[in-house]
Amino acid sequence: MKRSHGMKWWATAAVVLGGAVGALAACNLVVDSGSYHVGDVDGSMATITGEAGPTGVDGTAGDGGTVVGTSEAASEAGPPATCGSTALPTTPAFQQLVSACVLAVSCDIGYFVVNISTCITYDYIHAFSSLLPLANIQSCADYYTDEGSSITSPASCTSTIATSDEGSCNINSNVGTTCYYSSGYSNTVTNCDTLGGTCTVYYTDDDDQNEAAGCLLESCSDTDSDQHCDSLGRIYTCISGNAYGGACPTASQCGSINGAVNCYYQTPSCTTPGATCSSGTLSICAASPVSSGAADEVVNYNCGNSGLQCVLDDGGSSGQCLSPGCTESNGDGEGGVQGCTEGCNSGTGVITFCVGGVPGTYDCMANGFTSGCSSDFLPGTSTPIAYCYY
């Protein structure tokens, strides 16, 4: 199952880490194929399993996983740790961070702003106020409540004879559902009361064969298929003279960076550009490249929440969250880690993610996603992104 590239926007960070986010460090841990595992080189293993996990917006939520077993860090004594020799945390807080990041990536109707590995490594959800409601989600139903859109379970699209994509709107709730019967995308649901506008069914191709349901904002005259900002700060794509889109998430604004229009997170202003490490938190102050952004903004990434260390680059302008013994030079520069790259085992439905140089796995089917997992690249990048789907 694929993600829809059309009619999708997401808020992204204006201040970013230096180098390739997610190109962190090499690792040499043993990973097995259970529900969610973090393994140490000595064979000790922590396992997280779930019961009736995440569901669509019309389903019920599971427990999101339960910690079983123990895991000991290899670097508690003896020589300095080598990259990948320190196991990931097994605390309930870390367990929830993993679950929230997997769900944020998997339930998003297009592509979440970062992949699972980066989301966990930098505790991305807590770094931006717009994302804080996602910190405790347990299902795609929770994601839909917070964000106004989500992939949805097969129960929402049950036709056995349809050969083209179909959109429908519930006029009472102003909610639209798109069933991708022909194009292979994940089925989606969109709440136009949350995003703004009126739910409308429109054609997505010149042959008037495939439909979608989106939020109609106003008329427009743009002749391209790019994203634009309207006078109210909403983001939209112009299709056949109609603007389909919605409001940017809270604490973000519609703007452009080098001509690329998107919703960009807004963070507190700062006065001294550069990076600092304090109590396990990486703080980066940098000029906002957004056309309408502040002069300088600061983003705080809590490395300690994932059991990682804050490491500054040589110039002190940026930094990374790394496992003990790992260095920034270990990254492969392509959104992965040497020996540890985010991906999906389609045969088992198990996702592998990498946290500061340490691998872990998440079993999609054990946590309620009926069809397992898939993988792709974040649009316009070579950064791999894996996700669960129905």
**How are beta strands 66-68 and 45-49 bridged, if at all?**
antiparallel
193 DSSP β-pair partners: none
Contact 308, 337 (CB under 8 A): no
> Under 8 Å CB-to-CB from 120, ≥6 apart: which residues?
97, 98, 101, 306, 353, 355
Buried b (16+ CB within 10 A) or exposed e, 343-376: bbbeebbbbbbbbbbbbbbbbbbbbbbeebbbbb
Tell me if 290 sits within 8 A of 257, measured CB to CB: yes
What DSSP assignment string belongs to 321-345?
Answer: EE-TT--GGGB-SSSSBTTB--EEE
- Find, among 289, 310, 287, the residue nearest to 356 by Cα: 310
- pLDDT for 208 equals 81
Q: Measuring CA to CA, which residue among 383, 375, 386 is closest to residue 334?
A: 383
Sign of the dihedral defined by the CA atoms of residues 80, 117, 100, 197, in that order: positive
pLDDT of residue 68: 24
Alpha helices in 44-130 (DSSP H): 92-107, 116-121, 124-127
Are 243 and 231 a contacting pair, CB within 8 Å?
no
CA distance 38 to 30: 8
> Which DSSP string corresponds to 162-196?
--S-EEEEETTTTEEEEE-TTT-BPPEEEEHHHH-
**Predicted confidence pLDDT, tens digits, the chain (390 residues):** 566 544 554 566 655 554 333 322 222 222 222 333 333 322 233 333 333 333 334 333 333 332 222 223 333 445 667 777 788 999 999 999 999 999 999 999 888 889 999 999 999 999 988 899 999 999 999 999 999 999 998 889 999 899 999 999 999 999 999 999 988 888 999 999 999 999 999 998 878 889 999 999 999 999 998 899 999 999 999 999 999 999 988 778 888 877 788 888 878 888 888 999 999 999 999 877 666 555 788 999 999 999 999 999 877 888 999 988 777 654 433 333 445 789 999 999 999 999 998 889 999 999 999 999 999 998 778 889 999 999
Structure tokens at 13: 């960070």
Partners of 151 in beta bridges = 188
Q: Which two tokens stand for residue 70?
A: 């123990």
For residue 63, the one-letter residue type is D
pLDDT for the residue numbered 336:
39
Question: Pairing between strand 260-265 and 11-13?
Answer: parallel
Instruction: State which H helix or E strand residue 191 sits in.
Output: strand 188-191
CB atoms within 10 A of CB 228: 17
Instruction: Find the Cα–Cα–Cα–Cα dihedral 13, 19, 21, 24, rounded to 10°.
Output: -160
**Residue count (the chain):** 390
